[in-house]
Structure 1
Amino acid sequence: MALEKQISALRKARELKLEQIKIKQQQTVLKFESDSIDYEAERINYEVAEKQFDRQLALYEQGLKSLTELESRKLKLQESAAKLVSKENKFLATKNEFLSLAVELNAVEAEYLDKISKSESDLGATRSDLYESEGSLAKLENEYANLKIRSDQYSIKAPQDGYIVKALIAGIGETIKEGESVVTILPASTDLAVELYVKAMDVSLLRAGGKVRLQFDGWPALQFSGWPNASIGTFGGIVEVIDYVDSQGGKYRILVKPDPNDEEWPDILRIGSGANGWAMLDEVPVWYELWRQFNGFPPQLPNVPTAEASSKK
């Protein structure tokens, strides 16, 4: 059985572990002797450096040596002191390592004897518990699968990063169907754009890339001295998209994005803020514009067919 093999393995591991510790003890003894020699040699070097510094100091006080030479000898003395401390620490560490190995040897011996005794006492009880454990294992696996499914149902992951702006289902303990919307989210990173609606008679002159001036709610078009947090009346924009079909009431929707060559749009703008836009059309006489407005005509027809084009048809 497994416990019988475990007992055999523990006995072999015990012998191997004890042998490894004894080998480490022998290596530590050799290292201890080497470190003690290094420490003694460094101690003698420090004493020599200290005497040389004292002589250098005496010559400096007599005016026979310069300050630079004194400082150089002092630096060597400090380096020797640092090496002495390092060798002493290494020597003491090796000594502690040897003592620790002796403690570890006794601890390993007691540990393996305890493990072997416990394994032998558990061998009989394990035989009777084996079949019961196999039955319990299948039950636990089933419970684990059920708990994992329930745990996964406690959280809902959005398809992208963003902010929750509206909860569609409120309350505790409500049942949610598969595919049912729970919240409305705002993407974390969005490109700003303004949605404007243009009359059909004016949309013919608009084109992608055209310049537009925008006035947002809260930023008056006409500025007054002392108006807080609003030093710019209108902001520049560029027409990005023009719908090919009307959206509502015979008007066409256009999307305007910020003009990179103009003033940046306010950072505190929120989705749904009101905005008005002005787009400059072609230059025409005043009487023509009045006539066009009264008759409800477009400013001009784009791509007017020429005589040459008509003849080709």
Structure 2
Amino acid sequence: MLNISNNRISDQIDITKLKSGKEIFTKEHHKTFKKFLLAFSIILLIILFLPWTQNVSSKGQVTTLKPNQRPQTLQSQIPGRIEEWFVQEGDFVKKGDTILRVSEVKSGYFDTKLAERTGNQLNSKTLSAKAYNNKIIALQNQINAIKQERVLKLEQAKNKLKQAYLKAKSDSIDLEAVKIKQQIAQTQFDRVVLLEKEGLKAVKDVEEKRAKLQELSAKLISQENKFFTTKNDIINAQLAISSTQASYADKLSKTESSLYSAQSGAYDAEVQVSKLETSLANYSKRNSLLFITAPQDGYINKAIKSGIGETFKEGEQLVNIMPSNYDLAVEMFIEPIDLPLIHIGEDVRVQFDGWPAIIFSGWPNVSYGTYGAKIVAIENFISSNGKYRVLIVPNENEEPWPEAIRVGSGAKTIALLENVPIWFELWRQINSFPPNFYQPENKESDEKTKKKK
């Protein structure tokens, strides 16, 4: 009753004697409430001392463990035009299967027999190089023959020179002998003339000595002429040696010039052969690039370029393929402040989009619908979203991940850290403190062993 009226009836009527009044005013509800508060306080106090697992939560997506297992796009290394499709979206292809055929759009490669004609040019150039090599061998043989002939000719000319020297020496001796004889004849003639004047010799003796003197004088002149002729032979022999050397030097120079020309032609032919071999290999490789093949077993996800007759540039994406064999993983992103708390090999709980889950982040064993995982890689450089990327894979010791998971689906991750009381975790959350910095047990043991060593 509110007792807002001046006419009170509470003084006239005792409501505690009524049945409803007895039910209300005779019971002591505060005692029950105190018991309830006491029990609640005891339970709350016990809960505050229960263990709580600190964790770092983040969002990520399903990916693959190895880079070659992730979805990829196929590009063409050459510009071209789509001519024929051999698959459709959703088809399974094996490694090496042809996906589409393209054609050339550059005028320099329109000739369908370009590789064949280049091969013919290569054969011709190879034969030309062989011909140059044969010519080089012939010229080298010719040079060797000229050198041998020059040695023999010079030896012959030197022998003639020696003969001329010996003959000149012989003629010089003969000349000296004739001179002595001529002097003796002159002395005898003078003596006979003197005796004839004294009457001791006849005129006949004088005439005989005069004739003999004239004969020896003539013989002396002839011998001198012969000696000078022999000197000329020496000079001619020397000239012959010089001319022989000059002649064969000229022949060698011409032949060596031809040899160098042949070698230059051979080198040029080898360069052309090498260029043609490179061109032939490029043309053959380019012909194989007209067929886009599957790099590995997988499924055709999407045809980026479609239709027939559509042109594209080199390096432009044509089709998307998803490998059929892959190992699932989840990439999660953590804040830089939590990076020192994450270690390779640590346990992580994962919830996948589409799979219902009841999560108790502090009690991972009580959670339902989460799956075990462990950290295998931590990125060393911050990502474009300002967080660090962490890669996790299924934990082999726990329940396997669902088979229906697809690459690219979303996931929520909970990295499990140190166990602390609930009161400490509440105090940390209220003060916005980071989780406790800790080291895994295996790292601590490694550090102890290092210190012992």
Aligning the two structures, in what range does the TM-score lie when normalised by the shorter sequence? 0.3 to 0.5
Q: Does 1 or 2 have the higher relative contact order (CA < 8 Å, sep 6+)?
A: 2
Give 1 or 2: higher strand fraction.
2
Pick the structure with greater CA Rg. 2
Q: How high is the TM-score relative to the length of structure 1?
A: 0.43
